[in-house]
Amino acid sequence: MWFRYSDEHPWVLPGVDLTIPAGGTVALVGLNGSGKSTLVKLLCRLYDPTRGTITWDGLDLREADPAALRSRLGAVFQDFMAYDLSAADNIALGDLRARDDPDRIEAAAARAGVGGTLRGLPRGYRTLLTREFYGEGDDDGVVLSGGQWQRIAIARGFLRTEADLMILDEPSSGLDPEAEHEIHAALRTARRGRTNLLISHRLSTVRDSDVIAVFDRGRIAERGDHAALLAAGGRYAALFRLQARGYADPAEAAAVPR
Ligand SMILES: Nc1ncnc2c1ncn2[C@@H]1O[C@H](COP(=O)(O)OP(=O)(O)O)[C@@H](O)[C@H]1O
Ligand SMILES: [Mg+2]
């Protein structure tokens, strides 16, 4: 499958061939700009491939019913904020049926570690979340931190536990390492028994995936499980060793002279 954003743009994905086996977890890793999020957008049908096809159980995504596709997909995206909605509605974006079910919303928030924060807001889950403070009045919104927004995005994902394919694109990128570890432990439980596509810049969070695909400029440079990739001694092994020595970010690691 090939993809570029338009004829004027360069190829972002010049020939990607990837299978996501049912019931397994596939991880995508690679430098910023290597095309991982673009592949996610194609899976969600925000775009279609420029050449080639993406199939789900043999069915071309272009022929799939968009509503059915959306109901089978759960996604936590890298861009995770939604302002000017109540805290509850921000979570309900994950599954609008939950709007009528506060218990489900609160359970999802609790699992994502943001339940206490939201309960403690001036109007609890009905508090409006906004970009800025406007004043001190009753109806004014509340501004959350990046990490709290990230947890709301994860709570949205937890509402979609019945989705056949769960996509997590850098689900913990706004969090400190400890919170990141905690979120990934919760996500690992949620992932069990489902099909997952996990994107993370922190390799320690993908090491138990069934298949890890290393993206390099829109192509898959290496693939295998953690042990096989370490044994192969290629890019993944080099990045993993660098991160194990304390580099949190592959971009940082790539800047280190070999
Ligand atoms: N909407 C867009 N229009 C044009 N180019 C884009 C768009 N979104 C992303 N790109 C480009 O596509 C490439 C891959 O980006 P992305 O898929 O976000 O990579 P990653 O998620 O691996 O960091 C980058 O060069 C980026 O600038
Ligand atoms: Mg990305």
| 241 vs 80, higher pLDDT | 241
Q: How far away, in angstroms, is 171 Cα from ligand 2 center? A: 10
Average pLDDT over the chain, rounded to an integer: 87
Length of the chain (residues): 258
- Higher-confidence residue: 165 or 71? 165
Encoded tokens for 179: 């919170």
Of all atoms in ligand 1, which is nearest to the CA of residue 78? 21
Q: Where are the beta strands (DSSP E) in 55-210?
A: 55-56, 59-60, 73-76, 85-86, 128-129, 165-169, 195-199
Q: Calculate what percentage of the chain has a pLDDT beyond 70.
A: 91
pLDDT value at position 161?
74
Report the C-alpha gap between 211 and 25 in whole angstroms. 7
pLDDT in tens, 129-180: 987 755 555 556 788 888 888 899 889 988 887 789 999 998 877 777 788 8
Q: Is the pLDDT of residue 247 over 60?
A: no
Ligand 1 atom 4, closest CA = 5
Task: Say if ligand 1 is within 6 A of residue 35 CB.
Answer: yes
Please, what CATH class does the domain formed by 2-254 belong to?
Answer: alpha beta
pLDDT for res 253: 52
Contacts with 15 (C-beta within 8 Å, 6 or more apart), sequence order: 1, 2, 218, 219
Domain boundaries, the chain: 2-254
Best mutation site among 37, 199, 215 for ligand 1, i.e. most ligand atoms within 8 A of its Cβ?
37
More confident: 172 or 249? 172
Q: Quick one: pLDDT at residue 49? A: 98
Q: What is the pLDDT of residues 4-19, one digit of tens each?
A: 999 999 999 999 999 9
| Number of C-beta neighbours around residue 100 at 10 A | 9
Q: Among 104, 109, 243, 114, which Cα is nearest to 162's?
A: 104
- In the numeric block, which tokens belong to residue 122? 């001036």
Q: What is the pLDDT of residues 29-51, one digit of tens each?
A: 999 999 999 999 999 898 999 99
User: Would you say the CB of residue 202 lies under 6 angstroms from ligand 1?
Assistant: no
Residue 212 Cα to ligand 1 midpoint, Å, equals 20
The pTM for the full model equals: 0.83
Question: Which residue would you say has higher pLDDT here, 188 or 248?
Answer: 188
Task: Give me the residue label for tokens 């790539």.
Answer: 254
The answer on pLDDT for 234 being more than 50 is yes
- pLDDT for 128 equals 92
Q: What is the mean pLDDT of residues 73-97?
A: 85
What pLDDT is recorded for position 250? Answer: 55
Q: Report whether residue 216 contacts ligand 1, using a CB cutoff of 6 Å.
A: no
Q: Are 126 and 88 in contact (CB under 8 A)?
A: yes
Confidence class for position 258, pLDDT limits 50, 70, 90: very low
**For residue 9, how many C-alpha atoms fall within 13 Å in the half-sphere facing its CB?**
10
Q: Which ligand is nearest to the CA of 250?
A: 1
pLDDT for the residue 96? 86
- When pLDDT is cut at 50, 70 and 90, the band that residue 248 belongs to is low
| CA gap 90, 118 in Å, rounded | 11
Q: Is the pLDDT of residue 22 over 50?
A: yes
The verdict on the CB of residue 36 being under 6 Å from ligand 1 is yes
Residue 206 C-alpha from the chain's centroid: 12
Could you tell me which residue, 257 or 187, shows the higher pLDDT? 187
Say which range, 175-179, 195-199, 207-211, has the weakest mean pLDDT. 175-179
* pLDDT-above-90 percentage for the chain: 55
Q: How many CB atoms lie within 10 A of CB 39?
A: 25
7, two tokens = 């004829």
Our answer on whether the CB atom of 74 is closer than 6 Å to any ligand 1 atom is no
CA nearest ligand 1 atom 6, residue: 5
Give the whole-angstrom CA distance, residue 13 versus residue 151. 30
- What tokens were used for 240? 């993993």
